């Protein structure tokens, strides 16, 4: 019975999946096609995907020269790198202490972590902005990184991971005369690698894409992150030169998409592991 229904059902399934994929990929196709079109081309034949005259070089030259594209991407790398580094540095020891050491504050810490999961940057941005304004720290890498050095989500995730780790591993290390700090550095961290990579994916995607906080604290182009830089570019182009705009968009989208395509499996695993975020 199932075999006779098989080809027809499968055909419908494949058709639906293909149709959906076309719809989902359409913006990328148009982005790539429009990035190569001249202004006149864009305003006449909007449905032809292949540019009439290949204008990629001109559009990319515009995109790269109107805003300091290299600088923007570099800022994105620096900010995401620093945020990730501090998040892991702070969260791993804390999660280890909560999972494997006995101390009274552990339960209170758990409550704090759960509360912290609830609070997005949008809720704390106002007082933080006032504080950074008072300390004249606006427009710096420090202000972009500082509020995210603590990630309760990282603590939560590492905590789950460490709880599943066998206690014997730690006991053995203690018997070998390792200090607790040594255990964290040489036993916990190497074993926490899957959790760290999964968290890295989550953290980098979140902060590479974040617009809210950079928009609030950065007003100079030197410290603009990619999303903010693209906002400046849009403003400078008055939003009408779609060829150059798409070239800029492509340049800024490409790094993360390329990383995603290369490390796809890890990426999806990471989102599955970290996706359980509220």
Partner 1 sequence: MASVTSMAMPGDPAAAHRLSEARIAWMLALPAIVLLFLFVLLPVVAVIILGFTDFELGYGTFRFVGLENYADLITDRTFRRSLWNTAVYTAIVAPVSICLGLAIAMLIESETAARSFFRTAYFLPVASLIVAMATVWQYMFHPTIGPLNGLLSLVGLSGPNWLGSSGTVLYSLSIIGVWQSVGFNMVLFLAGLTAIPRELYAAAEVDGARSAVDRFFLVTWPMLGPTTLFVITISITNAVKVFETVKTLTEGGPNKASEVLLFTIYQEGFVYLRVGYASAMTVVFLAILVVLMFLQYRLLDRRVHYT
**Which positions from 135 through 154 interact with partner 1, judged by CB under 8 A?**
146-147, 149-150, 152
Q: How many CB atoms lie within 10 A of CB 243?
A: 25
Taking the C-alpha atoms of residue 259 and residue 268, their distance in angstroms, rounded to an integer, is 12
**How many residues are recorded in the chain?**
278
Between 36 and 226, CB nearer to partner 1: 226
Alpha helix locations (H) across the chain? 2-34, 39-44, 56-66, 69-100, 105-118, 121-134, 141-145, 152-163, 167-175, 180-183, 189-191, 193-209, 212-217, 226-237, 242-262, 264-274
Taking the C-alpha atoms of residue 228 and residue 211, their distance in angstroms, rounded to an integer, is 6
Q: Which of residues 182-221 bind partner 1 (CB under 8 A)?
A: 184, 205, 208-209, 211-212, 215-216
Min CB(166)–partner 1 separation in Å: 18
Region for residue 166 given its phi and psi (left: phi exceeds 0; alpha: psi -120 to 50; beta: otherwise): beta
Residue 31 within binding range of partner 1, rule CB under 8 A: yes
Residue 271 within binding range of partner 1, rule CB under 8 A: yes
How far from each other are the two terminal CA atoms of the chain, in whole angstroms?
Answer: 44
Between 42 and 195, CB nearer to partner 1: 42
Q: Which stretch binds partner 1 (CB under 8 A): 64-72, 135-143, 164-172, 255-263?
A: 255-263
Contact call for residues 180 and 80 (beta carbons, < 8 A): no
Residue 278 within binding range of partner 1, rule CB under 8 A: yes
Q: Which stretch binds partner 1 (CB under 8 A): 52-60, 164-172, 176-184, 191-199?
A: 176-184
Q: How many CA atoms lie within 13 A of 211 on its CB side?
A: 6
For partner 1, the binding residue among 54, 57, 85, 133 (CB under 8 A) is 133
Q: Which stretch binds partner 1 (CB under 8 A): 8-16, 66-74, 163-171, 189-197?
A: 8-16
For partner 1, the binding residue among 110, 182, 227, 266 (CB under 8 A) is 227
Min CB(9)–partner 1 separation in Å: 9
Between 57 and 106, CB nearer to partner 1: 106
Q: Which of residues 77-116 bind partner 1 (CB under 8 A)?
A: 89-91, 93-94, 96-98, 101-106, 109, 112, 115-116
Joined together, the tokens standing for residue 172 give: 């053995």
For partner 1, the binding residue among 119, 172, 236, 262 (CB under 8 A) is 119
Residue 264 within binding range of partner 1, rule CB under 8 A: yes
């Amino acid at each position: 019975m199932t075999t006779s229904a098989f080809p027809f059902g499968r055909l419908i399934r494949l058709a639906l999946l293909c149709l959906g994929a076309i719809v989902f990929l359409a913006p990328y196709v148009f982005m790539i096609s429009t990035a190569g079109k001249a202004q006149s081309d864009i305003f006449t034949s909007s449905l032809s995907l292949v540019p009439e005259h290949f204008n990629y070089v001109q559009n990319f030259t515009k995109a790269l020269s109107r805003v300091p594209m290299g600088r923007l991407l570099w800022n994105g790398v620096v900010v995401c790198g620093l945020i990730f580094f501090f998040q892991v540095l702070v969260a791993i020891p804390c999660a280890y202490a909560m999972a494997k050491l006995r101390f009274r504050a552990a339960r209170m810490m758990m409550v704090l972590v759960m509360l912290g999961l609830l609070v997005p940057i949008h809720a704390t941005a106002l007082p933080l902005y006032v504080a950074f304004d008072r300390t004249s720290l606006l427009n710096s890498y420090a202000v972009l990184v500082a509020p995210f050095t603590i990630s309760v989500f990282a603590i939560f995730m590492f905590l789950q991971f460490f709880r599943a780790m066998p206690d014997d591993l730690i006991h053995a290390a203690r018997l070998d005369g390792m200090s607790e700090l040594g255990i964290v550095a040489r036993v916990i961290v190497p074993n926490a690698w899957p959790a760290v990579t999964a968290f890295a994916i989550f953290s980098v995607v979140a902060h590479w894409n974040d617009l809210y906080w950079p928009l609030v604290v950065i007003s100079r182009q030197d410290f603009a992150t990619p999303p903010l830089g693209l906002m400046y570019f849009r403003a400078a182009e008055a939003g009408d030169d779609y060829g150059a705009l798409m070239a800029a968009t492509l340049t800024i989208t490409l790094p993360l998409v390329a990383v995603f395509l290369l490390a796809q499996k890890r990426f999806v695993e990471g989102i599955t592991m970290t996706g359980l975020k509220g």
